[in-house]
Structure 1
């Protein structure tokens, strides 16, 4: 049974601490400088898109899209894009998407058979079923495994990213400029050897995405996800409401207790569901992954934005030299 529960994850406080944040920012400076050289328009976005006034001003430039007209057949059935966009404007999230099982099975098979890269590092390459051995071989905790560009070789994944409903929803929400930015699949692994520093470097803390002025991300669970399997957590309404302290800082991640206190514990939605369960969110709203405790979680993301994507690297990856 698919469900969303409005409960505070039990270990939010312990996994959302942000020690070492400035060291991580310093490590990202080469990426920032390369982003700027590749696209000078990146800098004003990076500095200003975190503030509500500038974001709202940019939303005013969105090219209007007329009410939903019939689109080509979608694997997700008869869902009206304009109604999904309305819900996204209200709460920042919509949870009514289900992957057809043959599509889900094919992507999961591909992700199991195709080597991934641990902790965003291409030198840590292994298959998901080799995770425990890979931690021993590399002598470190491995919390995630991304497939990067390899997912483009999976026909089922390409079919999802090209489904007409996804672009229709993106256009109704982001404006007529909406375009596909990224498609990725990744594993989140349970591990006994992760330090607090490892967890802090991962996505296991409340944060918001700042890759574009306007973004929309579709997520699909490719494995069963209960409260012990690393469910995604989203703060409803936080895409439209932002504490001043969270605007006037270069940090995108903030302590759980701080986020929950300001935006309300009742706004924290923990998303659980069977394999194939999908949802779409405005990633400017605060969200986080949680730790997979016993079984690995496999997830897919299809992201849309309004600016041209980087051609030299994939989401979360350091600069490719």
Structure 2
């Protein structure tokens, strides 16, 4: 287990810095302290306490599909690939993200660029803004899929907060993996999972999502720092490593406290759409909702971080 001082160092370089961040954004108070509650048992206890204070669906009766997805998340931390979305939806989503500019969050001085006009070979990924993602065709419908929300309520013990949505390109033919392309745990929420949807075909050369099954309930390597492939395989066994491959429209759910990475593509480009379902909010969204709620049928609690 990682010493407490090492866990502090991942988010809190100094007490004054911690206090400044918390004063600037109150959401960072819990976020910066999350690595301290890094053991699965401690995280589960805190999550249960938070869930007691959150709303539940009256007469909650989840489908057998949601129960099966919940069991997979509980058992291994990741579901198998799930029944694909309509091809027309993924085609429209891909065409939309090909038409709007993205940015390199690590090199903001490069400005915005279209998917096929990357300004630097040092750019591994091109990210889209929150409003761009919310305006994408079918995105809100996918994020609010009844089966996913039922799975989330089973997993969290309360209605989820739709949080930390994103979409980005990963570019092949780069010299080294960067950021989330290396094995890591997510400390975004005390408990939650993510929906991952491929908008391009993803094989072993196109940067598949890689997950270490069972690591979501293990205290091993409980640091916020990235880990080498060798360290992760030694700790959890190479036989538990899964590579999620499939054509455009392939999707799955994963508890990203478990070790995972989006592998560096060796060729081509990967486009992925992601949403997170949390028991407590993260600081990854703007402080206030960025869009009006377009559909009264969307649950206002689930969507309250995104839609006014």
- Superposition deviation, residue 24 in structure 1: 10
Aligned partner of 2:160 in structure 1 is 178
* Kept after mapping to 1: 8 A contact 2:201/2:248: yes
Q: In the alignment, is residue 279 of structure 1 matched against residue 252 of structure 2?
A: yes
Aligned partner of 2:286 in structure 1 is 312
Aligned partner of 1:54 in structure 2 is 42
Q: How does 1:29-108 map to 2 (within 5 A)?
A: 33-35=20-22, 37-39=25-27, 41-42=29-30, 45-61=33-49, 62-63=51-52, 68-69=61-62, 80-97=65-82, 98-108=84-94
After superposition, the Cα gap between the structure-2 partners of 1:161 and 1:33, relative to the gap in structure 1 and judged at 3 Å, is farther
After superposing the two structures, state which structure 1 stretch, 230-239 or 30-39, moved more. 30-39
Unmatched 5+ stretches in structure 2: 1-8, 288-308
* Kept after mapping to 1: 8 A contact 2:168/2:271: yes
After superposition, the Cα gap between the structure-2 partners of 1:40 and 1:265, relative to the gap in structure 1 and judged at 3 Å, is closer
- Superposition deviation, residue 214 in structure 1: 0.4
CA separation in 2, counterparts of 1:31 and 1:95? Answer: 39
Q: In the alignment, is residue 189 of structure 1 matched against residue 171 of structure 2?
A: yes
CA separation in 2, counterparts of 1:293 and 1:159? Answer: 32
Q: Deviations over 1:210-249 (max 9, x none)?
A: 0110011010111000100001110001111122xx23x4
* Kept after mapping to 2: 8 A contact 1:190/1:292: yes
- Superposition deviation, residue 113 in structure 1: 0.7
* Kept after mapping to 1: 8 A contact 2:22/2:29: no
What is the number of equivalent residue pairs in this alignment? 269
Q: What's the C-alpha RMSD, in Å, of the aligned pairs?
A: 2.9
Q: Choose between structure 1 and 2 for higher RCO, CA contacts under 8 A separated by at least 6 residues.
A: 1
TM-score for both structures, normalised by structure 2: 0.78
- Superposition deviation, residue 309 in structure 1: 3.6
After superposition, the Cα gap between the structure-2 partners of 1:25 and 1:228, relative to the gap in structure 1 and judged at 3 Å, is farther
CA separation in 2, counterparts of 1:85 and 1:307? Answer: 19
- Superposition deviation, residue 166 in structure 1: 1.7
Q: How does 1:74-223 map to 2 (within 5 A)?
A: 80-97=65-82, 98-123=84-109, 124-131=111-118, 134-135=119-120, 141-149=122-130, 150-192=132-174, 194=175, 196=176, 199=177, 201-223=178-200
- Superposition deviation, residue 52 in structure 1: 2.7
TM-score for both structures, normalised by structure 1: 0.75
Aligned partner of 1:316 in structure 2 is none
